Structure 1
């Protein structure tokens, strides 16, 4: 059996039973936090919260990552797929509106197994796949029929920015193909009577300081390609972490009101109707979850 991992676009080919992949974790599921989460879009969190499961490790490793402890696999608890399924069921029992799987690219086979097992045991709330957008179409196809809602980022339009800040020059092309596949699988957004999303795609766009032009290019592409078959979430929450100042001084500030309003205004001018706009007050460190606790 070929154990060389090719789940993410890095295709590092590591046998993760024997060594760590680019994602910085082994093949054993490692979870950094599992708890009700209240800081997602309103149609995801609501008052009861989203049942968020933060997986350790990440294939992308953005230089401005707010969750570096988790993305580098430094914190977390190793669990079995059965234990993962039980976490979903516990979160459902707590009143979660959905199960929100955060950065699970490198655990896609285990996610499929755990969701199927949990559904056999009575899991009935939607499954959200919360991702950087850096996904292969081949891996996403494994999630068809398992995931109800896709929540990808679209971080960069410019290959140079993708290379500089995520060492992934191919990011723009990869995420375009990924979103096409996501829309193919789950179709247009559908909401229940309470206004919570049950299926569909919400694309998040995090505005970086000084890069309104890049954000506008992404919005133009999304609108021209998908029109109102998706939602977009315009995020102003970028928060510079302490390590960013030395190597990337241009990112060592928050987004200004003028920058964010320029992007929102552009979205309106394009005719984008399905959009979430973020209160700039959320750009605070207090909105970054503390990892290594609340494992169920």
Structure 2
């Protein structure tokens, strides 16, 4: 599914003033925060006590720069312009970036600096702005995007989340985000509670993916092989079938689209506190990885990346 390059979605909202209004509305919601599906209802303008994300008025950024290890349609030949946000609204016991997501390594950045980071990534030639773990900083991102767009930013925005996103946040992002890239981590609520300490992940995640697809549709890739707009779903294979790959793939094929672009990821390794749980204290076997790919194929999914592309 190829197309030519087009203007990023948010440029239209900038021209009408709607982008600034979205930022204003999002910042107001920080007073009784419902900008992720944790619904902490904390006044994050005043502090972080009670907030699962431990993030207050300012976003915390760990790093930014061109990333060449993303999907090829994002990394291209000049890199995906990643901005890694510190902290997270999930508590995955096997987190591979625990220094960032659990310990908050990074520094607070005001809107002006966050906008400058986006513009710097554009100057470096990156193909897109890739927001990594942005679910808890939607307001801060929108505030900065207004400034960056005013200064000429024209790169597509990739919303690279753990998939635990609230409908309130997604409504604010409608017409702003070009490429949604959520995780689909689990097909079983009990497993999600056990491994990521999160309630109702499956229900929230599926509702979020439905809404993301409603907004942007199936992934569109241009003639140069770069993603321009649409949905790209990531699914990490866990040992022992704990990710519920079969059910997850059937959901995508039947409830979203058989043309959903899915990256089946096989790089799981025991990290952080995974050694405390026997079930996840090992890598998936080759047989388990092959089973995951077969599950996607059997579900009727036709656009597979990662393991799905290599093992097809």
* Contact kept in structure 2, 1:240 and 1:254, CA below 8 Å: yes
2:109 paired residue number: 79
Distance 1:277 1:74, change over 3 A: closer
Distance 1:62 1:243, change over 3 A: closer
**Alpha-carbon deviation of 1:74?**
2.6
**Alpha-carbon deviation of 1:239?**
1.6
* Contact kept in structure 1, 2:237 and 2:265, CA below 8 Å: yes
Q: Comparing 79-88 with 14-23, which one deviates more in the overlay?
A: 14-23
Between the aligned partners of 1:102 and 1:32, the Cα distance in structure 2 is 10
Between the aligned partners of 2:104 and 2:197, the Cα distance in structure 1 is 20
Residue from 124, 142, 145 that aligns with 1:112: 142
2:92 paired residue number: 62
Between the aligned partners of 2:200 and 2:92, the Cα distance in structure 1 is 14
Distance 1:213 1:65, change over 3 A: closer
* SS in structure 2 at match of 1:218: helix
Residue from 23, 32, 53 that aligns with 2:62: 32
Over the residues paired in the alignment, what is the CA RMSD in angstroms? 1.9
1:8 paired residue number: 36
* SS in structure 2 at match of 1:36: strand
Between the aligned partners of 2:119 and 2:297, the Cα distance in structure 1 is 40
The runs of 5 or more residues in structure 2 that have no matched partner are 1-27
Task: Report matched runs for 1:1-296 at 5 Å.
Answer: 3-20=31-48, 21-211=51-241, 214-245=244-275, 247-278=276-307
User: Runs in 1 of length 4+ with deviation above 4 angstroms?
Assistant: none
Distance 1:242 1:226, change over 3 A: closer
Between the aligned partners of 1:52 and 1:137, the Cα distance in structure 2 is 24
Aligned positions, number: 280
**Alpha-carbon deviation of 1:177?**
0.6
* Contact kept in structure 1, 2:184 and 2:233, CA below 8 Å: yes
The runs of 5 or more residues in structure 1 that have no matched partner are 282-296
Between the aligned partners of 1:198 and 1:13, the Cα distance in structure 2 is 35
Between the aligned partners of 2:100 and 2:264, the Cα distance in structure 1 is 24
* Contact kept in structure 2, 1:154 and 1:175, CA below 8 Å: yes
Between the aligned partners of 2:304 and 2:96, the Cα distance in structure 1 is 24
